[in-house]
């Protein structure tokens, strides 16, 4: 088809690190771009989050009002409103629910196309997910937080490090959530249909991630066990507690460090699962 | 460029034998395929459904681990060196898409440039060439999900070639396409093959693809290679012959014989006859026939590859 110039294989003259960063950035950009094509879905989803935000906020504030000292689990009313409204925004940033793309591609055999690229599927999906979360941060996070700030008294950070720590915590929360979702989807390599594990994940992530109620309402021993023994609180409860300044600076930092630990562990586990799956993969559908 | 030695892939299937009983059975999808394909060759890889064509291609591209045997593509072992190999091969699965469903075609191409780390100049040159040959300009801005099958397939071909692969694997690239799209794809592949820069392995059920594009034909059945050679060799092996079909002005006399040819068909009250040419040339056969009976019309029919392959599949 092409002349000689176009037929000879050439690798980018950039260094391997720079090339990898460019590739990762391009894949992240594609994740961002893909979600910009669904504007109406973004608006509808944001509206739903805002409506449920009101509902949850009034319920929790009612609970606070009936609690001795108006501080359930150590949160004051501003911190509770912050927990709810930032939570409503972060819900779609960490994509707690609704990702079955990999499982579907394994089921149909389309995962073969992912494997035919020179980028490992785990890296490609992570990059795309970070792009998606950046889009969600700019759209679906902002609206509920603005509505919450206009209608309720939210906590204004009192420490300079809270905002940068919150942003790092959100990034890590996305990675932890991605790691969990990837592993849940990867069960399709063995089960062919991952709907069961995905349903379990949806149920478990909502309860144990801290969406339905603040995990600090649980007895201390149970909350600590959940934080240390499962990645779930690192997905939603940690960034919310960081933003609400629920804890002192040391514990605030320690929770983010724990998140980082879970992020690394989950990515390593997902990479190992992917390697194992590829050895036994049977591409479905001819 | 491609070498396999006794390449084998078994699958285990479980067959229901009662309410709780399942019997395991091993199915040999590819059973000892040995191939040696040189650089720049265009090879047609055909076989009936379930013969093992796609399984072989999956093993050669590194997405399926062989049960036994060896494979080398561009000097690399496909499974352990899959990501390295991905830079050197292009793959088009007719029934799958490698493009991003939500993105316009040109954005998919731009993304592939970064994934394969192709210098901008080379990428632009290849894309320009594909745009010209495959008429992509009308739908470059259309999201992939809105493309017709023919448009998407042209996009898939371009996507597989933008990084300048040395080997192109095509698994049923013309499946479901209309005549015009098929011809566009075939012409494009013919030009690609003629350049000699790319080794092309094509699986298809459309034998017109093979006749147009491939000199070498590998036929696989029940996981085994049953023919490896030129299309002419296949015809010779299965005794395919050219035919002379003649419309006569008067009926063919009873007992008429044409030396070097066999009468294989008589129709329309002996006014239309078909001779299979065994050793005689078409010209000599026509001359003999004209000398015996006045002829209104005649045609020489080349052997039909579909018939040969159908016979091959059923034997």
Report phi then psi at B163, rounded to 5: -95, 10
CA angle A27, A180, A80 (to 5 degrees): 100
Q: Is A145 on the interface with B (CB under 8 A)?
A: no
**What letter would DSSP give residue B251?**
P
Residue A181 has what pLDDT?
95
* Among the partner residues A7, A25, A110, nearest to B198 by beta-carbon distance: A7
Residue of chain A whose Cα is closest to the Cα of B92: A113
Report phi then psi at B92, rounded to 5: -125, 115
Yes or no, beta carbons of B164 and A6 under 8 Å apart:
yes
Yes or no, beta carbons of A9 and B161 under 8 Å apart:
no
* Among the partner residues B65, B89, B125, nearest to A6 by beta-carbon distance: B125
CA distance A128 to B140: 22
Give the residues of chain B that fall short of pLDDT 50: none
- Give yes or no for a contact between A165 and A256, defined as CB atoms under 8 angstroms apart: yes
β-pairing verdict for B68-73 and B2-16: antiparallel
Residue showing tokens 């969990």? A180
The token duo for A5 is 């110039």
CA distance A150 to B146: 41
Residue A15 has what pLDDT?
67
CA distance B157 to B188: 9
The token duo for B101 is 């469903």
- 3-state DSSP call for residue B81? coil
Residue B265 has what pLDDT?
86
Yes or no, beta carbons of B115 and A117 under 8 Å apart:
yes
CA distance A43 to A197: 29
Residue A10 has what pLDDT?
42
ipTM: 0.79
Yes or no, beta carbons of A19 and B117 under 8 Å apart:
yes
CA angle A286, B5, B8 (to 5 degrees): 40
Q: Is A36 on the interface with B (CB under 8 A)?
A: no
pLDDT in tens, chain A (286 residues): 333 333 334 444 456 778 788 899 999 999 999 888 888 999 999 999 999 999 999 998 898 888 877 788 788 889 999 999 999 999 999 998 778 999 999 998 888 889 999 999 999 999 999 999 999 999 999 999 999 999 999 899 999 999 999 999 999 999 999 999 999 999 999 998 889 999 999 989 889 998 889 999 899 999 999 999 999 999 999 999 999 998 889 999 999 999 999 999 999 999 999 999 988 776 665 5
The residues near B194 (Cβ < 8 Å, ≥ 6 apart) are none
Residue numbers in B near A115 (CB within 8 A)? 62-63, 82
Chain segment A131-188, per-residue pLDDT in tens: 999 999 999 999 999 999 999 998 999 999 999 999 999 999 999 999 999 999 999 9
Question: Domain segments of chain B: what residues?
Answer: 2-237, 243-314
Residue numbers in B near A124 (CB within 8 A)? 115
Yes or no, beta carbons of B93 and A113 under 8 Å apart:
yes
Residue numbers in A near B107 (CB within 8 A)? 30, 33
Q: Is A30 on the interface with B (CB under 8 A)?
A: yes
Write out the CATH class of domain B2-237.
Answer: alpha beta
CA distance A54 to A57: 5
The token duo for B126 is 């290849």
The strands making up B68-73's β-sheet, listed across from edge to edge, are: B22-37, B2-16, B68-73
Yes or no, beta carbons of B191 and A285 under 8 Å apart:
no
**Structural Rg of chain B based on CA atoms:** 24
- Give yes or no for a contact between A241 and A247, defined as CB atoms under 8 angstroms apart: yes
User: How far is B251 from chain A, CA to nearest CA, in Å?
Assistant: 53
Residue A14 has what pLDDT?
57
The residues near A53 (Cβ < 8 Å, ≥ 6 apart) are A84, A85, A88, A144, A147, A148
Q: Is A220 on the interface with B (CB under 8 A)?
A: no
Residue numbers in B near A1 (CB within 8 A)? 126, 129-130, 133, 161, 188, 191-192, 195, 198
DSSP string for B113-157: HHHTT--HHHHHHHHHHHHHHHT-GGGTTSBGGGS-HHHHHHHHH
- Give yes or no for a contact between B202 and B42, defined as CB atoms under 8 angstroms apart: yes
- Give yes or no for a contact between B275 and B263, defined as CB atoms under 8 angstroms apart: yes
Q: Is A8 left (phi over 0), alpha (psi -120 to 50) or beta?
A: beta
Residue numbers in B near A280 (CB within 8 A)? 65
CA distance B167 to B17: 44
Beta bridge partners of B229: B217
The token duo for A44 is 């509808």
Residue numbers in A near B1 (CB within 8 A)? none
Residue A67 has what pLDDT?
81
DSSP string for B254-308: TT---TTEEEEEEETTTTEEEEEESSS-HHHHHHHHHHHS-EEEEEEEPPPHHHH
- Give yes or no for a contact between A126 and B111, defined as CB atoms under 8 angstroms apart: no
The token duo for A187 is 């069960």
Yes or no, beta carbons of B96 and A23 under 8 Å apart:
no
The CA distances from residue B263 to B239, B258, B296, B298, in Å, are: 15, 8, 18, 15
């Amino acid at each position: 088809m092409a002349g000689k110039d176009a037929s000879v294989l050439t690798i980018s003259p950039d260094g391997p690190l720079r090339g990898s960063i460019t590739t990762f950035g391009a894949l992240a950009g594609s994740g961002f771009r893909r979600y910009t094509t669904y504007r109406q879905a973004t608006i509808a989803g944001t509206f739903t989050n805002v409506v449920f935000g009101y509902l949850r906020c009034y319920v929790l504030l009612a609970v606070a009002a009936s609690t001795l000292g108006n501080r359930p689990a150590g949160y004051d009313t501003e911190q509770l409103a912050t927990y709810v409204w930032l939570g409503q925004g972060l819900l779609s940033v960490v994509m707690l629910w609704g990702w079955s793309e990999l499982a579907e591609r394994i089921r149909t055999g389309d995962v073969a196309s992912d494997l035919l690229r020179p980028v490992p599927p785990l890296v490609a999906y992570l990059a795309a997910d970070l792009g998606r979360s950046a889009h969600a941060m700019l759209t679906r996070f902002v609206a509920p937080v603005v509505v919450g700030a206009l209608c309720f008294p939210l906590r204004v950070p009192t420490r300079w490090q809270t905002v940068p720590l919150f942003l790092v915590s959100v990034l890590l929360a996305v990675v932890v959530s991605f790691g969990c979702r990837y592993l849940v989807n990867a069960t399709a390599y063995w089960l062919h249909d991952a709907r069961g594990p995905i349903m379990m994940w949806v149920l478990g992530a909502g309860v144990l991630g801290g969406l339905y109620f603040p995990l600090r309402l649980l007895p201390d021993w149970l909350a600590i066990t959940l934080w240390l023994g499962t990645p779930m609180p690192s997905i939603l409860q940690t960034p919310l507690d960081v933003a609400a300044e629920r804890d002192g600076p040391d514990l605030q930092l320690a929770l983010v460090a724990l998140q980082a630990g879970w992020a690394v562990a989950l990515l390593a586990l997902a990479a190992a699962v992917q390697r194992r799956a590829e050895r036994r993969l049977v591409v479905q559908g001819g | 460029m491609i070498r396999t030695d006794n390449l084998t892939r078994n699958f285990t299937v479980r067959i229901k034998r009662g309410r709780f009983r399942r019997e395991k059975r091993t199915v040999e999808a590819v059973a000892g395929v040995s191939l040696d394909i040189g650089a720049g060759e265009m090879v047609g890889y055909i076989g009936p459904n379930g013969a093992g064509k796609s399984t072989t291609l999956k093993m050669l591209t590194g997405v399926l681990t062989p049960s036994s045997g060896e494979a080398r593509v561009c000097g690399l072992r496909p499974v352990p060196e899959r990501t390295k190999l991905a830079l050197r091969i292009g793959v088009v699965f007719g029934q799958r898409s490698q493009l991003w469903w939500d993105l316009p075609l040109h954005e998919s191409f731009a993304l592939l440039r970064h994934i394969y780390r192709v210098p901008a100049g080379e990428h632009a040159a290849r894309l320009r060439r594909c745009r010209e040959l495959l008429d992509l300009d009308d739908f470059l801005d259309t999201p992939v999900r809105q493309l017709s099958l023919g448009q998407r397939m042209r996009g898939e071909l371009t996507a597989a070639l933008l990084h300048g692969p040395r080997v192109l694997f095509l698994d049923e690239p013309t499946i479901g396409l209309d005549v015009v799209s098929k011809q566009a794809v075939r012409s494009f592949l013919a030009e690609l093959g003629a350049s000699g820069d790319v080794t092309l392995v094509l699986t298809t059920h459309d034998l017109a693809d093979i006749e147009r594009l491939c000199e070498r034909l590998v036929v696989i059945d029940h996981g085994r290679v049953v023919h490896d050679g030129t299309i002419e060799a296949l015809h010779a092996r299965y005794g395919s012959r050219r035919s002379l079909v003649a419309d006569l002005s008067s009926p063919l006399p009873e007992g008429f014989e044409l030396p070097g040819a066999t009468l294989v068909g008589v129709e329309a009250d002996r006014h239309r006859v078909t001779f299979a040419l065994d050793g005689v040339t078409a010209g000599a056969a026509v001359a003999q026939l004209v000398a015996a009976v006045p002829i209104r019309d005649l045609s020489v029919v080349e052997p039909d590859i579909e018939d040969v392959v159908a016979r091959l599949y059923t034997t």
